[in-house]
Copies of this chain bind each other. A is one copy, B any other.
Amino acid sequence: MEIDRIGIVGLGLIGGSIGLDLQQKGYEVYGLVNKTKTAERARERGLAHSISTNSNIISNCSMVILAMPLEQLLNPTSDLVDALPKNAVITDVGSVKKPILEVWKELHPRFIGSHPMAGTIQTGVEAGQINLFKNRPWVATPEESADKEALEAVHQLAMTLESQWITTNSETHDQAVALISHLPVFISAALLHTVIKEPNKALLKLAKTIASSGFEDTTRVGGGNPDLGVAMASNNTSAVLNAIRSYRSSLDKLEKIIQAKAWPQLKNELSENQLSRPDFL
């Protein structure tokens, strides 16, 4: 099938960046946003050829990319759902896949779940930038019953954006994201909590003075945007809880080694960590 007219719902970091890239690659891009003010600014920034707050803007598209915040993706308005052409390929960019698939497989026959893994700390209509997805993973999570032509169209989209194409199932995706992205937030948050709740005031004061780069790095994601942490936990709850349970076993193991003063064993564990970490960078 030929994809020529592409709709993007939401022109924040992800949607806006896709819009900029697709225009440069020769596609016709139609943007749907919620607010008049956002539409104005998105037009000034040239995030799509045509931008509107009226959902009719996407009615002639052969592909629509849902790039709204997760909450809106999980609770789409009927106005949006009704505006999606029945023959179009629909994909999303949400950071959890199973709950989204459960909602959207009932709403559209050609929905393919996607998660382009690119981000900066910027958000909103000012955030979109060229080449955000280049060489970054684009994970799609088609079910067995997925429309093969629709899947191929999303694959082509990822290739057009020069992403690294990966397919997996939605459970594996959500568990991997829980381990790699969500778990670090909560273990880092627990570290900050431990230190800021230290009851010995002299110790707390000294801790503030002597904290350096190790503490800074290890607490960065746990001291970040609270809404992001809540979204991770509330939208990927069971995978996050599994990851925390698995993490606690690892921490218990290290604690037992230290209690036993089993220093050669501690060195082995830490050496294995040191050797394995580069595989993740």
Given known A-B contacts A244-B258, A267-B226, A280 and B139 have beta carbons under 8 A apart:
no
Q: Does A270 contact B (CB under 8 A)?
A: yes
Contact B254 A193 (CB under 8 A): yes
From B194, B216, B243, B258, contact of A246 by CB (8 A) = B194
In whole angstroms, what is the CA distance A94 to B274 when docked? 24
Q: Does A75 contact B (CB under 8 A)?
A: no
Contact B117 A271 (CB under 8 A): no
Chain B residues, CB < 8 A from A214: 180-181, 184-185, 220-221
Chain B residues, CB < 8 A from A266: 226, 229-230, 233
Interface size class on chain A is: 35 or more
Q: Does A1 contact B (CB under 8 A)?
A: no
In whole angstroms, what is the CA distance A202 to B183 when docked? 18
In whole angstroms, what is the CA distance A27 to B253 when docked? 50
Per assembly, the copies of the chain total 2
In whole angstroms, what is the CA distance A224 to B267 when docked? 11
Chain B residues, CB < 8 A from A190: 187, 247, 250-251, 253-254
User: What are 17 of the A-B contact pairs (CB < 8 Å)?
Assistant: A119-B212, A164-B209, A168-B202, A172-B200, A176-B206, A180-B211, A181-B212, A183-B191, A184-B191, A184-B215, A184-B218, A193-B272, A217-B220, A223-B274, A226-B270, A244-B254, A251-B251
Chain A contact residues, CB within 8 Å of chain B: 117, 119, 137, 139, 164, 166, 168, 172-173, 175-177, 179-181, 183-198, 200, 202-203, 206-212, 214-227, 229-230, 233-234, 237, 240-241, 243-244, 246-251, 253-255, 258-259, 261, 263, 266-267, 269-274, 276-277, 279-281
